[in-house]
């Protein structure tokens, strides 16, 4: 895959996630090193998906759709959307329902941009953000490229973290939420009215 050189989202329109655990924040004291940018829309879909099953205590999962770029010799991914389908879930495990693959493929085909699978997301309701041995096996088996991210959300503790593998070892991945010029980063309200070109 040929990777295009492109500036990442503007620092004025990026923030660390509001659910970032305190012990992960040391990564964010550095000015660079962001390896993933998560669109506000994709973030809302992941968070709302996890929250929708909190009452039942069930895990959720889906795929991260995006693009991969380089900037000043560093590779980074931009997650623009997510895709999921019916799931077979318990409080400690989740997988795609085999009957739901047609729906998943339809969801993937309806993406409005030429995407790359840049990773996956899943939830650990009430258990915190980490990669279990099963998660690590999934990452190694299906998401082993340097840009692949495992985004984990705990909707009970209100935590979200990103992880990757480097030489087979799990590492936290620095990620930022980005939004377009007319959006508030977390609440879906307009920052200012959009001016029409005359």
Q: Could you tell me if residue 9 is inside a domain?
A: no
Q: Could you tell me if residue 12 is inside a domain?
A: no
Q: In the chain, how many domains are there?
A: 1
Q: Could you tell me if residue 38 is inside a domain?
A: yes
Q: Identify the CATH number of the domain in which residue 132 sits.
A: 3.40.140.10
Per-residue pLDDT of the chain (198 residues; tens, 9 = 90+): 678 999 999 998 999 999 999 888 888 877 678 999 999 999 999 999 999 999 999 999 999 999 999 999 999 999 999 999 999 998 888 988 888 888 888 888 888 888 999 999 999 999 999 999 999 999 999 999 999 999 999 999 999 999 999 998 999 999 999 998 766 666 554 444 444 444
CA–CA dist 159, 97 (Å, integer): 26
Task: Find the helix or strand (DSSP H, E) in which 15 lies.
Answer: strand 14-15
Q: Could you tell me if residue 35 is inside a domain?
A: yes
CA–CA dist 37, 95 (Å, integer): 25
Q: Where do runs of H (alpha helix) occur along 55-180?
A: 101-109, 133-142
> Domain containing 35: what range?
24-178
Q: Say whether pTM exceeds 0.85.
A: yes
The gap from C-alpha 188 to its chain's centroid, in whole angstroms, comes to 18
Q: Could you tell me if residue 152 is inside a domain?
A: yes
Q: Could you tell me if residue 119 is inside a domain?
A: yes
Q: What is the structure's pLDDT at 24?
A: 87
Q: Could you tell me if residue 10 is inside a domain?
A: no
Q: Could you tell me if residue 185 is inside a domain?
A: no
């Amino acid at each position: 895959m040929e990777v295009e050189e492109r500036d990442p989202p503007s620092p004025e329109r990026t923030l660390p996630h509001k659910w970032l655990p305190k012990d992960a924040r040391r990564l964010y004291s550095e000015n660079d090193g962001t390896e993933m940018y998560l669109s506000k829309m994709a973030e809302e879909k992941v968070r709302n998906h996890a929250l929708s099953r909190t009452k039942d205590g069930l895990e959720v999962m889906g795929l991260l759709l995006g693009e991969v770029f380089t900037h000043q010799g560093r590779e980074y991914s931009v997650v623009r959307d997510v895709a999921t389908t019916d799931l077979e879930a318990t409080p400690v495990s989740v997988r795609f329902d085999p009957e739901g693959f047609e729906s998943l493929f339809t969801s993937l085909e309806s993406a409005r941009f030429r995407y790359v699978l840049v990773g996956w997301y899943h939830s650990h309701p009430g258990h915190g953000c980490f990669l279990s041995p099963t998660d690590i096996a999934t990452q190694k088996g299906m998401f082993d490229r340097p840009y692949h991210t495992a985004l984990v959300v705990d909707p009970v503790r209100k935590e979200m973290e990103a992880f990757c593998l480097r030489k087979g070892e799990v590492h936290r991945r620095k990620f930022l939420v980005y939004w377009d010029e007319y959006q508030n980063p977390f609440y879906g309200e307009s920052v200012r009215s959009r001016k029409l070109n005359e």
